[in-house]
Structure 1
Amino acid sequence: MLPNKSTQPDSFWPQYKPGEVQALLNKDEQFHLWIENIADIITVFKADGTIFYQSASITRILGWAVEERVGQNIFTNPITHPDDVQAQQAFLIDAINNPNKIVTSTFRLQRKDGSSCYIEAIGRNLLHHPLVQGIVTTYRDITERMELEKRKEEFIRVASHELRIPITNLKGHTQVLKMMLEDHDAMEEPIEYLSIMDKQIDRLTRLINDLLDVTKISASMMDYKDTLFEVDAFIHNIVTLLQHISPRHTLRITGQSYATLCADKDRLAQVMINLIMNAIKYSPDAQYIDIEVASENGCVLIHVRDYGKGIPLPYQQKIFDRFYRVPDMDTESSSGLGIGLYVAREIIARHHGELWVESQPGEGSTFSISLPINTR
């Protein structure tokens, strides 16, 4: 803030014309009022985590007086929820180590009355800027948004559970009816219709299971059961199964890993099925889907390549976000909820691996998995 005109001699302002000083003071006061009344909390940290500026909005949002927080260090005296201290400190450390990078995080801060609220934090390291010399962060209260998200996920969880019972019954009756018609040498047409129904029920079941997995991931309740299995046989079994389901494409396997993994076989099968089925879905006119297996630097590498339309570069990271679907995909089979790749990446991350995509529009896409070889 500029020094008060009334406390400074006229010689302090020699470069300004009459009236300009007051205009500058008015502008400074106006800017000060903007900052102090902004909806978000603005905090500026020193490099060691000490707060040297705190906007007045902290009182309105969290109940703390500015004087209670200025001079405090979040590494030694945070007002963070005990379960989220590590997340907030990691947020600041990321900003400290990466000048000019925009860093983001979500965690809970504690109000003075002992309650807590969810905060969306955005920070930027401007320690090198001579007029700032600090890490500027904004904290936005997103408690209402998070509560709405929780209610939505609970609804999805309950609805998915309720849907599984009638879907299971419907599948059972469909299969029984199909067998009865086959035993009585019925016309092929009704049997074909029942086969189509059975496949659509399987598709609906996968969608329901994916929705349940999304809610489990959000609640950190995803269940895993690790067992030892041979990777190459595992891949071959999945490809053989899917080849029968999708005879229009030829699924080609190349390479071997000669590796044994201790991992959740069913969850990894879920990932592989998702990747191969996506390759089939998004390359309807292609003849081949290639699956390559190898081992390198202590990791199993699996590549699933299609020869479809490819994914434009701006969307290649977004496709792993929850509920995200690439716009303007005009393939006839592009329906879906946009959660399969989100769930797949979470499963691979749990196994300390990586899942990524390389793609060129018009040349197809290659989804790759890297899993550390671990036998226990």
Structure 2
Amino acid sequence: MAKVMSPNISSCRAVSFGRDGLSITVFMFILGLYTVKNGISRTFAWLDNAKMSNSSNSPFILVIGTGGTIAGLTTDSGNGGYQAGQVPIATLLAQIETKFSIKNIQLSNIDSCDMSESLLSKLGLQVRTGLADPKVMGIVITHGTDTMEETATFLELVCGGYSNNLGKKVVLTGSMLPSDHPEADGPQNLSAAIEFAGEGLGPGGVWAVMGSKPVPGLRLIKGHSSRVDAFLEETLPNGWTQVSNDLPIPPDNQWPWVEIITSHSGAIPDIIRLLRDRGVQGIVLAGTGAGTVHENLAPALEQFMEAGGAVVRASRIGRGYVGGTLANGRLGIALGAGFLTPAKARIALQLALFATAQPGAKTLSWQDYFARIVGLSEVR
């Protein structure tokens, strides 16, 4: 660690070189003050960072900050609580070392449990813009862990094909502990995400890096509420391929309305009828087991489908495959969500409904889009 020197104005030397002498004199004076306050090694690190950020023609990693626990600070309550989305992304980046040039954008600074469709749209457009920049080597997004898998799904479906074709990675990362925790995992995750985004090896696409392990975006699952190693990777069968997509991004006020309904013991259909009457466009069933549905819910869901509503079956378990039709015949032709969790399936259904409503997409139904997203063998 650099020694912190006591302030000594005499250590600030004025150097003059011709007509530029005044500006250089001022710079050296400021540099001297910075040096005595912060130490020589930190001064040269600052100079090196300034050089990197000012080299406009050099390739760089774009880091987009959205908030989350990685940008959180502990509270004074004494109960281990913290407030997410408090620290700017520039401050987080200043705490790590990397061989890559970095540029950052603070898109938001929120708790990811408050992620909105409007912010997803802005993020998707920002990522597309970044990918189109030939100087951008890759993109890293700092994000809260609560909804990271939903954002990863969204980005894979609207940018996955584009990033794959360019060979550029879009990498989400975050942390389970706030930034000022003694054992904060954020710096390590952020460093690993930047290294992975910039390595230039392997395919592009959307990924997440948590605990230094890269996971394809659509396979990411948060499997524990508090453990540092909270994230899992959904294991797919041998030979299973994921088709990349570049679906249109809905404007923030044009996202289709889709809700998640859980099948459980003693379920009643009133909420389904209420949503139907209020104009909901799609329902994801978080079913029991392999997407099964309570007998009390099935008639209301079938009536919703007959009226033109979209229904997709997923499993409330959060792991495993849901496909085909139910053996007991309930819900008729309702599509299975494949390996998508209910939350991921909701994002996929919203994008499928929006895509089929666009000019030029009339030959494809939402079922066509959704089946391609989840890799179903049968496209309806």
| TM-score bracket for the superposition, by shorter chain length | under 0.3
- TM-score, normalised with respect to structure 1: 0.20
Higher relative CO (Cα under 8 Å, sequence separation at least 6) belongs to 2
- TM-score, normalised with respect to structure 2: 0.20
Indicate the structure (1 or 2) with the bigger Cα radius of gyration. Answer: 1
